[in-house]
C-alpha cells in the first residue's frame, strides 16, 4: 500500500519541554445518545472501555475514549484499524440512531513531556491549566493561540493535544515557539 | 545642582558601579538606580523638552506618573521611544537619548514656540488649521507633523520576544506596598489562591521611605518579614516588575511583566502579558502626589516633594543643595526633615495654610527649619534650572514679598489615590472634601458575573493616608476577598502602626489664589501636553462645561501619562471657572492600560510566521516545491497557478487552461468542505438546507445544490452525494466548511432538536484530487482501478463509486466545475500525496499538468458557473443568477423560501446575471467595473445599473469573457452596455448568455 | 470579556471560546407567515438595557448551543440553560424576578 503520512510526519522538538508529533493515530468520532446502553455497549466492545463521564478521557490496552460533547465521543485506536472500528460500531448499532466516522486523517496529535507542559499551553489557551483547573484524565476543548484544539494530561508531565490536520504545521511552530528554553514563568 | 550624596540610598549598591550613556555622554551610576536617579546623581537636571513649547524640562517624579523625563532607550531593533527614566532600572551599557528637540537638548530651535506661547492657546489647532482647506495638506500638516509627537518611532524590526500567559486565581492583589502585602497575607493565610503583583522591583512601596513603624518594627523590616511569609505559602505567587494594566468584565485582568528591561542579558521574553481571570481583585495601588500650580512650576529642579525624599532616601541623590518646600499639607514636611537630616539646606517651607500645627511641622521647626504659613510661590526664576523663588501671600495676586535663592523646589498639593484600576470596569468615585480627593465609593464597585463587586480598593488607594488605617483597611480587604472566594480568614486584627497626627490639608488649585493671567500662563497643569491654568480657564470661558470636552479641547490629560498628575488639578480649575462643585464637574474616564505597555506585549507571539494560522492541504509541500504562486482562500493557501521556471503568471494560467481543455489537468481540491449528514431525518433536513429537492436523490448519485440564509440570499453551494438511505455527503465551498457545519448544527440544536440527524465535518479527513480533461479517464485507468468501474457507461456524469485507485481507498465522483470530463477523487488525507504522485506518474503519458485556482476560475466562467463570493455578495438570491431550476417549487419550506416571496425579491428589475462580450475581444473588463445608462442623476452622479462580477481572458475562446449583475439583465440580451473605466475611457460590451462554452455539456458527459 | 458556564459540558468558558447568537427564544416564521410576522422574525430583535436572554455557542469547546440570561447593563449572569427549550426555566425566571423586582417578566 502506498505510504501514509501524518500531518507533521513525527516531527520533534526539544526546548523547555519535549514535543513530538505522534504520527499516524486512529480516531473515530461516534455520535449518539451516550446514555443509551447499546451505545455504551458498542463503545465497550470497540475499545474495551466504559462510556466516559463528561470531559473524561480514558485509555486502555485496546484504545481510548474521550468525551467530546453530550452526544459525541472520540475513540482512539490503531490508524490501520479505524475503518474496521467504524464498521464494528455500525454493526453493533444497527437500528440505533448514530454516526460513526473515521476522522484519523483529519487530525494531528502531539505529545508534550516535561515539567512545564501546562505552562506551554497556558501561553495560548484561556483555560485554567492549573492541576485544579485541568486534572489528569480530563480533556479540555478550547483554543491554543488562534486555533481550536483539545488537550489533556495522561500523567503529571505528559500532555496530549489534538488539532486539525491542516493546521498541524502551524501548531507545531506555535509549540516550538512557546516551549523555547528559558521562557516559562514557573508558576503552574 | 543635583548630586550623589556620600551615604544613604537604601536601594542602591555602591559596590556595583554601572556605566551608561545619555545623549552620547558617558555617565556613572550604581546597581539599584533608576535612570532618573542616575541622571540626577550626574547633575543632569535638564532631561528633555516639552511637546508643544519645547520648554526645558527636568525630572518631576520618582515613579510611573513622571510626565517629563521621557527618553528614547536602546538602539536599532531595541530602540523604544517615550520610556520613563523614573521607571527604567539602570543597567550597564544603557543607552538613552533625549527627545523633542533639534539640534540639541541645550540649544533647541523649536523653543521659539515658547516665545510664541501666548499665540498657542487652548484649541489653537482647531482654530487655526481650519481654512483654507488646501493649506492643511500643503502647509499645516507637514509642519505640524515635523514638530509634533513625542519621541521618534522605531525604524527596525523589534528584536525581542514577547508572549502571553493565561492565569486563573481566586484573588489578585495589585500593588506590593504595605497595603498589598497585608491584604495578600490575610488572604493567603485563609488558604485561597493569591497572586500579588508589584510594578517596581521592590516590595513595600513608600512606607520605608516615609519612616513608618509597623508592629513595633521599622517598615522595611516588617516588609521583609511579610514577603518571606508570602513566599513560603504554596497558594501565593509573588511577581514583581509586573504592573496591573487593565481591569475588564467578569474579573478579566491584564498584567504587564517586564522580565529583562532591567537586565537585557536575561534570556527569554522581554515582556509577558498576563491575561488573568480573578474572582476578586484587590487594588492596593497607593496614591500619586499632586503638583501645585504656580508660575514656573515646570522649570527643571521643581519636583514633587515625595519624589525628592525618594531620591534622597532610596538612591542617595540630592536634587539640590538648597531646596524650598511648598505645600498645602503636612506630608511634605517629611521631605524637609529628610533633606535636613541628609545635611542639605532647606531655606524655607512655604505652606499655603494659615497655620501648620501638626506633628510633622513641629518636628521640622524643631530641626530649625523656617516655616512660612499663608504664603505661596509667585514664580520660579531660572530657565534651564531653578535659581530661586519669589514668595507671596497665598491669598493675594502674587506681589513678591521676598526672593529666596535655591536650586530645587519640592512641591506637594496633596495626594490622589490611584483609582484607575478600580474605575476601568465601572467602579464609581466619591469626592472626599476633607482630603480634596476622589476615592472609591465602596457602594458602587464594578460588578462581576455574580452581580457582586469584584474589585476591592485597599489602603491608600482607598483613600487612607496614615499607616495604621492603611493596614487596617488592607487587612479587611484581604479578609473580605478571601471570604468571598471560599477562604477561611483568621479572626484577627491588622498589625499596629504608629504615626503622626496630621493637621487638615488645604485644597490649593492655583497659587497664589488670585494669580494674574500672566502668572496663570506659566502655571502648568499638564506638563506633557503643555496645558496651563490659563488654557483651562479659556476653555471654560469659551463655553466648554463638560470635563470630557475640555480635555479634548485643551488636550489636558491626553498624553501618554494620561493625566496622572494633571487631571484633578485641571478639573478643579475648570470647576472653579464654572463656579461649580468638583464632583459636579466629575472626572474623565479612566481607561486601560494604567501605564503604556509595549506593542510587542499586545501582539504576543502573533508575528512573523505565527501571525496567522495557514491551513495546508496534504499536497501543500509538493505545490510549494513546484512553482506555486500562492493566494489565500479563506484560511487556506491555494496555488493561483504553478509557474514553470521563467514563466510569467499569466502565461502559466494560459498553459494550464489549454492543457486541461486539450489533455488533462490535475487539481488539488482538498479544501472543498465535506460534511456527513446522517440519520432517519437526514433527507428532511437536507431538503430544508438546500433550495432544491435533495431527499429524492438516488443512492450513488450527485446533485448540485444551493443554500440560502433565512433572508433568501445565497450563502453557499456544492454537490451533494447520497451515500446510503440515511446518509448524505454535502460538499461546501472552500471557505464555507466550518460556517456551513456550524449552520447545520445551529438548526439541529436550536430549532429542530427533535429531528434525528447527526452531522460530522470530515473536510480534512479526505484529500480531494480533480483529474480533469479529455484524457482524465485514461489517467485513472492507468493508475489502476479496483472495486469500481469508471467507464462512461458505468459511471455517468453526476454519479460516484467507492473502490480503490492506485492501491488507495478512494471515492470517485464524476462531477465537473470546468465543463470537462472530470473525476474528483477523495482519498484519505494521509495518502493524498501518494495519490497525487501516482496521478502525475500515470498521467505523464497523457500530458497531465497540475493547475491552480485561476485556471479553475477561468474554466468555470467559460461554462457560466457561478462562484460564491464573486457572483454573490450577500444580497443575491438564486433567482438573480438564473438558477430557477435549482429552486424547488414542490417543497413546502426551505431556508430562505419565505424571504424569496417578498415583493422586492420578485421585482423584475433586480440585478440579474448576464454574460458580457466586449466589442473588442482583446479588451478585458476590469473587475467590478460599473455599467451606466442614460442621463446623469440629479446629484450629478452617473446612473449605475450594475457591475462586473467575474472577468477573464479566455484562452479557449480567444476572447475576453465576463459576467455581470445588471438591472433587469434577463431582458437585456443583445444590448450593448457602457462601462466607464476612468480617464474618460469607456468599454462597450454586449449582453450575452453567460454560458460561453459547450452549452450542451458534451465535454463533461464524454 | 464575559465568562459563561456552558450547561452542556460544564466548562466556565472564556468569551473567546464562545460565539454569540443574538436573542434567544425566537419563533421561526416560514412560507405561511404574513409579511409582518416574517419581518418581526428576521429583523425585530430585542435589545434591552437590563435582563436579556441570549443564544451562545461553545464554539471552541463542545460545540453546543446554550442560552444565557444576563443583565446587559451590569453583565450579571443569572444563569445558563440548554437551548432545547421554548422559554427560560421557571426557577431561573423566579431568581431574576427576585434580583430585579422591576423586571417586566419573560416575553416571547
Q: Which residues span the domain enclosing C32?
A: 23-99
Which residues 552-611 of B are in CB contact (within 8 Å) with A? 605-606, 609-610
Distance from CA of A80 to the nearest CA of B (A): 11
Q: Which positions in chain C touch B745 (Cβ < 8 Å)?
A: 63, 65
pLDDT digits (tens, 9 = 90+) for B722-734: 999 999 999 999 9
Distance from CA of C102 to the nearest CA of B (A): 16
Q: Is residue C16 in some structural domain?
A: no
| CATH number (domain holding residue C82) | 3.30.2270.10
Q: Are strands B702-708 and B673-678 parallel, antiparallel or unpaired?
A: unpaired
Q: What is the count of residue pairs from A and B with beta carbons less than 8 Å apart?
A: 134
Q: Which helix (H) or strand (E) holds B776?
A: helix B776-783
- Yes or no: is domain B907-1006 CATH 3.90.1150.10? no
- Yes or no: is domain B673-764 CATH 3.30.70.1400? yes
DSSP string, B367-428: TT--EEETEEEEEEE-SSS--EEEEEETTSS---SEEEE-SEEEEE--EEE--HHHHTTT--
Whether the per-residue pLDDT at B738 is higher than 90: the answer is: yes
Total domains present in chain C? 1
pLDDT digits (tens, 9 = 90+) for B426-462: 999 999 999 999 999 999 999 999 999 999 999 999 9
Other chains touching A, judged by 3 or more CB pairs under 8 Å: B, C
pLDDT digits (tens, 9 = 90+) for B206-255: 999 998 999 999 999 999 999 999 999 999 999 999 999 999 999 999 99
pLDDT of residue B7: 85
Question: Are B679 and A99 within 8 A, CB to CB?
Answer: yes
Q: Are strands B242-248 and B252-258 parallel, antiparallel or unpaired?
A: antiparallel
ipTM score:
0.98
Length of chain B: 1006
Q: Is A161 on the interface with C (CB under 8 A)?
A: no
Q: Is B167 on the interface with A (CB under 8 A)?
A: yes
Question: Are A183 and B806 within 8 A, CB to CB?
Answer: no
Instruction: Report the alpha-carbon distance of residue A136 to residue A130 in Å, rounded.
Output: 10
pLDDT digits (tens, 9 = 90+) for C78-89: 999 999 999 999
- Residue B998: is it exposed, middle or buried by C-beta count within 10 angstroms (0-12/13-18/19+)? middle
Distance from CA of B824 to the nearest CA of A (A): 18
Q: Is residue C30 in some structural domain?
A: yes
Q: Is residue C3 in some structural domain?
A: no
Q: Is residue C37 in some structural domain?
A: yes
Question: Are B249 and C2 within 8 A, CB to CB?
Answer: yes
Length of chain C: 108
Instruction: Report the alpha-carbon distance of residue B590 to residue B419 in Å, rounded.
Output: 8
- pLDDT band per the 50, 70, 90 thresholds, residue B55: confident
Question: Are A165 and B764 within 8 A, CB to CB?
Answer: yes
Residue from B764, B811, B836 to probe the interface with A (highest A Cβ count within 10 Å): B764
Residue B549 neighbours by CB distance under 10 Å: 12
Q: Is A88 on the interface with C (CB under 8 A)?
A: no
Q: How far is CA B138 from the centre of its chain?
A: 32
Q: Which positions in chain A touch C84 (Cβ < 8 Å)?
A: none
Question: Are A105 and B636 within 8 A, CB to CB?
Answer: no
CATH of B508-580, one of 3.40.50.2000, 1.10.10.1100, 3.90.420.10, 3.40.50.300: 1.10.10.1100
- pLDDT band per the 50, 70, 90 thresholds, residue B113: low
Closest CB to A143 among C11, C17, C64: C17
Q: Are strands B408-412 and B323-327 parallel, antiparallel or unpaired?
A: parallel
Report the pLDDT averaged over residues B261-271: 96
Residue from B619, B621, B744, B760 to probe the interface with A (highest A Cβ count within 10 Å): B760
Superfamily (CATH) of domain B620-671+765-860: Probable tRNA modification gtpase trme; domain 1 (3.30.1360.120)
Distance from CA of C98 to the nearest CA of A (A): 32
Q: Which positions in chain A touch B272 (Cβ < 8 Å)?
A: 185
Q: Is residue C48 in some structural domain?
A: yes
Quick one: what percent of chain B has pLDDT higher than 90?
A: 89
pLDDT of residue B613: 96
Report the pLDDT averaged over residues B703-714: 98
What is the SS3 assignment for A170? helix
- Yes or no: is domain B291-413 CATH 3.10.28.10? no
Question: Are B250 and C2 within 8 A, CB to CB?
Answer: yes
Instruction: Report the alpha-carbon distance of residue C66 to residue C24 in Å, rounded.
Output: 9
Q: Is residue C104 in some structural domain?
A: no
Closest CB to B746 among C29, C33, C65: C65
Q: Copy the grid coordinates of residue B925.
A: 473588463
Domains in chain A (CATH in brackets) are: 12-23+106-178 (3.30.1360.120), 26-104 (3.30.70.1520)
Write out chain A's pLDDT in tens, 188 residues.
Answer: 678 999 999 999 999 999 999 999 999 999 999 999 999 999 999 999 999 999 999 999 989 999 999 999 999 999 999 999 999 999 999 999 999 999 999 999 999 999 999 999 999 999 999 999 999 999 999 999 999 999 999 999 999 999 999 999 999 999 999 999 999 999 99
B738 to chain C: nearest residue by CA?
C59
* Residues in CB range of B111: below 8 A, 6 or more apart: B49, B53, B54, B55, B56, B101
Backbone angles phi, psi at A130, to 5 degrees: -70, 160
- pLDDT band per the 50, 70, 90 thresholds, residue B152: confident
Report the pLDDT averaged over residues B392-412: 97
Question: Are B830 and A105 within 8 A, CB to CB?
Answer: yes
- Yes or no: is domain B1-158 CATH 3.40.50.970? no
Report the pLDDT averaged over residues B95-124: 68
- pLDDT band per the 50, 70, 90 thresholds, residue B559: confident
Question: Are A183 and B807 within 8 A, CB to CB?
Answer: no
What is the SS3 assignment for B734? coil
Q: Copy the grid coordinates of residue B606.
A: 502573533
Whether the per-residue pLDDT at B342 is higher than 80: the answer is: yes
Closest CB to B451 among C2, C57, C74: C74
pLDDT of residue B238: 98
Which residues 739-768 of B are in CB contact (within 8 Å) with C? 742, 745-746, 749-751, 753
Question: Are B277 and C99 within 8 A, CB to CB?
Answer: no
Question: Are C16 and A126 within 8 A, CB to CB?
Answer: yes
DSSP string, B479-495: HHHHHHTT----S--PP
Strand partners, B237: B195
Residue ranges per structural domain of chain B: 1-158, 162-288+416-498, 291-413, 508-580, 620-671+765-860, 673-764, 907-1006
Distance from CA of C11 to the nearest CA of A (A): 9
pLDDT digits (tens, 9 = 90+) for B768-805: 999 999 999 999 999 999 999 999 999 999 999 999 99
Q: Is residue C92 in some structural domain?
A: yes
Instruction: Report the alpha-carbon distance of residue B745 to residue C59 in Å, rounded.
Output: 11
Report the pLDDT averaged over residues B937-962: 96
Q: Is residue C31 in some structural domain?
A: yes
- pLDDT band per the 50, 70, 90 thresholds, residue B937: very high
Which residues 28-47 of A are in CB contact (within 8 Å) with B? 29, 31-32
Q: What top-level class would CATH report for the domain B162-288+416-498? A: alpha beta
Q: Which helix (H) or strand (E) holds B824?
A: strand B822-828
Domains B1-158 and B907-1006 belong to one CATH topology: no
Instruction: Report the alpha-carbon distance of residue C66 to residue A79 in Å, rounded.
Output: 35
Q: Copy the grid coordinates of residue B8.
A: 544613604
Whether the per-residue pLDDT at B810 is higher than 80: the answer is: yes
Report CA dihedral (B900, B903, B904, B908) to the nearest 10 degrees. 90
Mean pLDDT of the residues in chain B: 94
Q: Are strands B402-405 and B323-327 parallel, antiparallel or unpaired?
A: unpaired
B920, HSE (Cβ side, Cα atoms, 13 Å): 8
Residue from B170, B279, B281, B449 to probe the interface with C (highest C Cβ count within 10 Å): B449
Q: Among B30-44, B113-127, B381-395, B462-476, whose mean pLDDT is lowest?
A: B113-127
Amino acid at each position: 500500500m502506498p505510504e501514509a503520512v501524518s500531518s507533521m510526519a513525527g516531527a520533534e522538538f526539544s526546548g523547555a519541554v519535549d514535543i513530538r508529533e505522534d504520527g499516524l493515530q486512529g480516531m473515530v468520532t461516534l455520535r449518539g445518545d451516550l446514555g443509551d446502553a447499546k451505545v455504551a455497549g458498542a463503545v465497550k466492545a470497540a475499545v474495551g472501555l466504559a462510556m466516559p463521564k463528561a470531559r473524561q478521557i480514558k485509555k486502555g490496552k485496546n484504545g481510548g475514549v474521550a468525551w467530546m460533547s453530550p452526544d459525541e465521543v472520540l475513540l482512539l485506536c490503531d490508524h490501520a484499524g479505524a475503518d474496521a472500528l467504524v464498521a464494528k460500531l455500525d454493526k453493533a448499532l444497527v437500528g440505533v440512531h448514530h454516526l460513526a466516522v473515521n476522522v484519523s486523517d483529519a487530525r494531528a496529535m502531539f505529545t508534550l513531556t516535561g515539567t512545564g507542559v501546562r505552562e506551554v499551553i497556558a501561553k495560548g489557551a484561556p483555560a485554567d491549566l492549573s492541576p485544579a483547573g485541568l486534572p489528569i484524565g480530563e480533556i479540555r476543548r478550547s483554543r491554543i493561540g488562534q486555533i481550536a484544539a483539545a488537550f489533556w494530561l495522561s500523567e503529571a508531565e505528559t500532555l496530549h493535544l489534538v488539532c486539525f490536520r491542516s493546521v498541524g504545521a502551524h501548531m507545531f511552530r506555535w509549540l516550538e515557539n512557546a516551549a523555547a528554553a528559558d521562557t516559562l514563568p514557573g508558576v503552574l | 545642582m543635583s548630586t550623589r550624596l556620600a551615604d544613604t540610598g537604601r536601594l542602591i549598591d555602591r559596590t556595583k558601579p554601572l556605566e551608561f550613556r545619555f545623549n552620547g555622554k558617558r555617565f556613572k551610576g550604581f546597581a539599584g538606580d533608576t535612570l532618573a536617579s542616575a541622571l540626577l546623581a550626574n547633575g543632569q537636571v535638564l532631561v528633555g523638552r516639552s511637546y508643544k513649547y519645547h520648554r526645558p524640562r527636568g525630572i518631576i517624579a520618582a515613579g510611573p506618573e513622571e510626565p517629563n523625563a521621557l527618553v528614547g532607550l536602546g538602539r536599532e531593533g531595541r530602540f523604544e521611544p517615550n520610556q520613563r527614566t523614573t521607571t527604567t532600572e539602570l543597567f550597564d551599557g544603557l543607552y538613552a537619548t533625549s527627545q523633542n528637540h533639534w539640534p540639541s537638548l541645550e540649544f533647541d530651535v523649536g523653543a521659539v514656540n515658547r516665545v510664541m506661547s501666548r499665540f498657542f492657546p487652548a484649541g489653537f489647532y482647531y482654530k487655526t488649521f481650519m481654512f483654507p482647506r488646501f493649506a492643511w495638506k500643503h502647509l499645516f500638516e507637514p509642519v505640524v507633523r515635523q514638530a509634533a509627537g513625542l519621541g521618534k518611532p522605531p525604524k527596525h524590526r523589534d528584536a525581542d520576544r514577547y508572549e502571553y500567559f493565561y492565569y486563573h486565581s481566586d484573588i489578585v492583589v495589585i500593588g506590593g506596598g504595605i497595603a498589598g502585602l497585608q491584604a495578600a497575607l490575610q488572604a493567603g493565610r485563609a488558604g485561597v489562591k493569591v497572586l500579588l503583583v508589584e510594578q517596581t522591583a521592590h516590595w513595600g512601596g513608600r512606607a520605608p521611605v516615609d519612616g513608618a513603624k509597623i508592629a513595633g518594627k521599622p517598615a522595611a523590616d516588617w516588609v521583609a518579614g511579610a514577603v518571606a511569609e508570602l513566599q513560603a505559602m504554596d497558594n501565593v505567587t509573588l511577581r514583581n516588575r509586573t504592573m496591573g494594566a487593565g481591569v475588564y468584565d467578569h474579573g478579566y485582568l491584564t498584567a504587564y511583566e517586564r522580565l529583562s528591561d532591567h537586565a537585557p542579558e536575561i534570556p527569554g521574553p522581554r515582556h509577558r502579558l498576563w491575561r488573568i481571570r480573578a474572582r476578586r481583585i484587590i487594588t492596593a495601588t497607593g496614591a500619586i502626589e499632586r503638583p501645585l500650580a504656580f508660575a514656573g512650576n515646570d522649570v527643571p529642579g521643581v519636583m514633587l516633594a515625595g519624589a525628592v525624599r525618594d531620591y534622597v532616601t532610596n538612591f542617595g541623590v540630592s536634587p539640590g543643595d538648597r531646596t524650598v518646600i511648598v505645600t498645602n499639607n503636612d506630608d511634605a514636611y517629611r521631605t524637609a526633615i529628610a533633606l535636613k537630616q541628609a545635611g542639605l539646606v532647606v531655606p524655607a517651607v512655604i505652606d499655603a495654610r494659615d497655620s501648620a500645627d501638626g506633628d510633622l511641622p513641629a518636628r521640622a521647626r524643631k530641626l530649625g527649619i523656617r516655616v512660612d504659613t499663608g504664603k505661596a510661590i509667585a514664580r520660579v526664576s531660572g530657565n534651564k534650572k531653578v535659581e530661586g523663588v519669589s514668595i507671596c501671600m497665598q491669598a493675594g495676586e502674587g506681589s513678591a514679598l521676598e526672593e529666596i535663592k535655591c536650586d530645587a523646589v519640592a512641591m506637594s498639593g496633596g495626594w490622589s489615590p490611584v483609582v484607575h484600576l478600580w474605575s476601568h470596569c465601572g467602579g464609581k468615585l466619591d469626592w472626599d472634601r476633607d482630603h480634596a480627593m476622589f476615592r472609591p465609593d465602596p457602594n458602587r464597585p464594578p460588578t462581576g458575573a455574580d452581580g457582586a463587586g469584584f474589585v476591592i480598593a485597599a489602603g491608600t488607594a482607598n483613600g487612607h493616608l496614615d499607616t495604621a488605617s492603611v493596614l487596617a483597611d488592607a487587612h479587611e480587604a484581604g479578609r473580605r476577598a478571601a471570604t468571598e472566594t471560599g477562604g477561611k480568614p483568621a479572626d484577627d486584627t491588622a498589625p499596629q502602626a504608629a504615626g503622626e497626627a496630621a493637621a487638615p490639608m488645604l485644597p490649593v488649585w492655583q497659587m497664589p489664589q488670585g494669580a494674574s493671567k500672566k502668572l496663570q500662563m506659566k502655571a502648568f497643569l499638564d506638563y506633557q501636553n503643555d496645558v496651563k491654568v490659563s488654557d483651562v480657564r479659556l476653555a471654560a470661558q469659551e463655553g466648554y462645561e463638560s470635563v470630557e470636552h475640555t480635555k479634548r479641547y485643551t488636550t489636558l490629560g491626553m498624553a501618554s501619562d494620561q493625566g496622572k498628575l494633571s487631571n484633578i488639578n485641571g478639573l478643579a480649575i475648570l470647576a472653579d471657572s464654572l463656579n461649580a462643585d468638583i464632583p459636579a464637574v466629575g472626572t474623565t474616564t479612566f481607561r486601560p492600560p494604567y501605564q503604556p505597555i509595549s506593542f510587542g506585549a499586545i501582539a504576543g507571539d502573533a508575528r512573523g510566521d505565527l501571525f496567522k494560522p495557514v491551513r495546508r492541504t496534504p499536497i501543500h509541500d509538493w505545490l510549494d516545491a513546484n512553482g506555486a504562486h500562492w493566494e489565500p482562500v479563506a484560511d487556506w493557501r491555494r496555488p493561483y497557478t504553478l509557474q514553470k521556471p521563467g514563466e510569467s503568471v499569466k502565461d502559466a494560467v494560459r498553459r494550464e487552461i489549454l492543457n486541461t481543455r486539450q489533455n488533462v489537468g490535475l487539481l488539488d481540491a482538498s479544501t472543498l468542505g465535506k460534511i456527513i449528514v446522517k440519520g432517519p431525518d437526514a433527507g428532511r433536513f437536507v431538503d430544508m438546507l438546500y433550495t432544491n429537492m435533495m431527499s429524492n436523490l438516488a443512492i450513488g448519485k450527485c446533485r448540485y445544490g444551493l443554500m440560502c440564509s433565512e433572508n433568501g440570499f445565497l450563502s453557499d453551494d456544492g454537490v451533494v452525494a447520497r451515500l446510503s438511505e440515511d446518509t448524505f455527503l454535502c460538499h461546501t465551498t472552500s471557505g464555507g466548511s466550518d460556517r456551513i457545519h456550524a449552520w447545520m448544527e445551529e438548526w439541529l440544536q436550536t430549532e429542530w432538536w427533535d429531528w434525528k440527524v447527526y452531522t460530522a465535518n470530515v473536510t480534512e479527513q479526505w484529500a480531494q484530487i480533480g483529474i480533469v480533461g479529455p484524457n482524465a479517464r485514461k489517467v485513472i485507468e492507468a493508475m489502476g482501478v479496483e472495486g469500481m468501474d469508471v467507464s462512461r457507461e458505468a459511471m455517468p456524469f453526476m454519479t460516484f463509486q467507492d473502490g480503490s485507485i492506485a492501491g488507495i481507498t478512494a471515492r470517485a465522483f464524476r462531477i465537473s466545475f470546468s465543463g470537462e470530463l472530470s473525476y474528483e477523487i477523495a482519498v484519505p488525507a494521509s495518502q493524498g500525496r501518494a495519490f497525487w504522485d501516482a496521478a502525475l506518474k500515470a498521467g505523464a503519458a497523457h500530458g497531465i499538468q497540475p493547475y491552480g485556482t485561476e485556471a479553475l476560475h477561468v474554466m468555470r466562467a467559460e461554462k457560466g458557473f457561478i462562484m460564491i463570493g464573486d457572483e454573490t455578495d450577500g444580497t443575491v438570491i438564486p433567482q438573480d443568477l438564473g438558477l430557477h431550476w435549482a429552486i424547488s417549487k414542490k417543497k413546502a419550506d426551505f431556508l430562505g423560501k419565505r424571504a424569496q416571496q417578498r415583493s422586492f425579491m420578485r421585482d423584475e428589475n433586480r440585478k440579474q446575471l448576464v454574460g458580457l462580450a466586449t466589442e473588442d475581444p482583446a479588451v478585458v473588463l476590469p473587475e467590478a467595473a460599473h455599467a451606466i445608462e442614460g442621463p446623469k442623476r440629479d446629484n450629478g452622479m452617473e446612473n449605475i445599473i450594475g457591475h462586473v462580477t467575474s472577468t477573464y481572458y479566455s484562452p479557449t475562446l480567444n476572447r475576453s469573457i465576463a459576467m455581470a449583475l445588471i438591472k433587469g439583465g434577463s431582458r437585456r440580451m443583445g444590448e450593448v452596455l457602457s462601462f466607464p473605466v476612468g480617464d474618460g475611457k469607456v468599454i462597450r460590451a454586449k449582453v450575452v448568455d453567460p454560458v460561453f462554452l459547450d452549452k450542451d455539456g458534451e465535454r463533461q458527459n464524454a | 470579556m464575559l465568562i459563561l458556564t456552558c450547561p452542556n459540558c460544564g466548562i466556565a468558558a472564556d468569551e473567546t471560546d464562545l460565539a454569540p447568537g443574538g436573542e434567544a427564544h425566537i419563533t421561526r416564521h416560514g412560507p405561511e407567515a404574513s409579511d409582518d410576522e416574517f419581518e418581526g422574525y428576521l429583523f425585530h430583535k430585542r435589545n434591552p438595557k437590563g435582563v436579556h436572554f441570549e443564544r451562545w455557542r461553545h464554539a471552541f469547546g463542545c460545540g453546543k448551543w446554550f442560552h444565557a440570561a444576563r443583565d446587559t447593563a451590569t453583565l450579571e449572569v443569572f444563569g445558563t440553560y440548554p437551548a432545547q427549550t421554548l422559554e427560560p426555566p421557571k426557577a431561573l425566571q423566579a431568581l431574576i424576578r427576585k434580583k430585579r423586582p422591576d423586571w417586566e417578566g419573560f416575553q416571547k
